[in-house]
Structure 1
Amino acid sequence: MHKHNLRILLVEDHPFQLIALQILLNNHGLYLLTPALNASEAIVALERSAEPYDLLLCDQRLPGMEGIDLIEFASQRGLIRDAVLLSGLAPSRLLDLQSRAQDKGLPLLGCLNKPLNTLELFRLISSGSDHM
């Protein structure tokens, strides 16, 4: 699937960062974006979608539910194909999250530090495009 056709669910609890993320992705040709400010909004969007999202791009620190838990929820129900976590956590914590996801068989392409580096995001998306 061409990157411009990717359906992406964006989950970020800071409104300004969510808008900035949407603009950044739009500037790189990604327009099929569904924004959510928290896990509850994301779950509603996931469950209402007629088909799985190609990518769940979410913050790790969300109120009420961690990003990794949202990925697990969506993955177990077949609501996403791939996921990328965004976080300001230390690199060692990000590695722990990646290991946890791998142990559970989650479709986590990787963890990226905030602010988002779009080149890194596209590298991860490309690595997951074999099954998108």
Structure 2
Amino acid sequence: MSNKSLRILIADEQHFNRLRIERWFNQLGYYRVAPVQNLDELLTLVEYGCEPFDLLVINAALAGGKLDLMGFCLDNRQLYRVLIYDGQRAQLPPTPACEQQKTQVSHAVLPDLAALQRLMTIIDPGMPFVGTVISVR
């Protein structure tokens, strides 16, 4: 069963992208999702929030060269985990999701449901993995 108390922040300038990602999280059982459309909104929520966010999913283009996105994410105590997508645009090297890393960079233009599900199995170990089951005899 998924941990319904996890706080997720989505940051993307495109309304359609924010909506799509939020719907995928809803399909996975996560409903505490806050979408933001610009850097100022993101900084306000992160800097003045009472509770840390369990996950930030952000389009690398949102920083627009105004912010060292990797440095901000790695050093911020209000963000437990971060997925930066479309990282190729920001010239960030891709990094795979693993338990030890706080920040994952994807070159995908938009994360898909399967990628979010894999990430959430790391963040929320109680989440059931919905996928193909292969039995070996």
If the length of structure 1 is used for normalisation, what is the TM-score?
0.72
Structure (1 or 2) with the larger CA radius of gyration: 2
3-state DSSP class of the match of 1:34? strand
Higher fraction of helix: 1
Number of the residue aligned with 2:108:
113
| DSSP-derived class of the 2:77 partner | coil
- Residues 46-101 of structure 1: CA deviation (Å, up to 9, x unaligned): 1221111000110111153478x3353244231110011121738xx56x1539xx
Q: How does 1:64-83 map to 2 (within 5 A)?
A: 64-65=64-65, 69-83=68-82
- Partner secondary structure for residue 50 of structure 2: coil
Secondary structure of 1:6's counterpart equals coil
Shift of 1:126: 2.1
Matched, 1:8 2:8: yes
Identical residues among aligned pairs (%): 23
Q: Partner of 1:102 in structure 2? A: none
DSSP-derived class of the 1:20 partner: helix
The answer for the alignment partner of 1:50 in structure 2 is 50
Contact 1:71 1:106 in 2 (8 A): no
Question: In 2, are the aligned partners of 1:39 and 1:65 still within 8 Å (CA)?
Answer: no
Q: Paired residue for 2:33?
A: 33
Q: How is 1:120-131 mapped onto 2 (pairs within 5 angstroms)?
A: 120-129=115-124
Q: Does the 8 A contact of 1:4 with 1:29 survive in 2?
A: yes
> What CA distance in whole angstroms lies between the structure 2 residues aligned with 1:28 and 1:129?
11
4+ residue segments displaced more than 4 Å: none
Amino acid in structure 2 at the alignment position of 1:113: A
- Which stretches in structure 2 are left out of the alignment for 5+ residues? 126-137
Q: What is the match of residue 98 of structure 1? A: 95
Residues 53, 71 of structure 1: alpha-carbon distance in 2 compared, 3 angstrom cutoff: farther
Unmatched tracts of structure 1, length 5 or more: 100-104
TM-score between both structures, scaled by the size of structure 2: 0.70
Which structure: greater strand fraction? Answer: 1
Moved more, 33-42 or 109-118: 109-118
**Number of residue-to-residue matches in the alignment:** 121
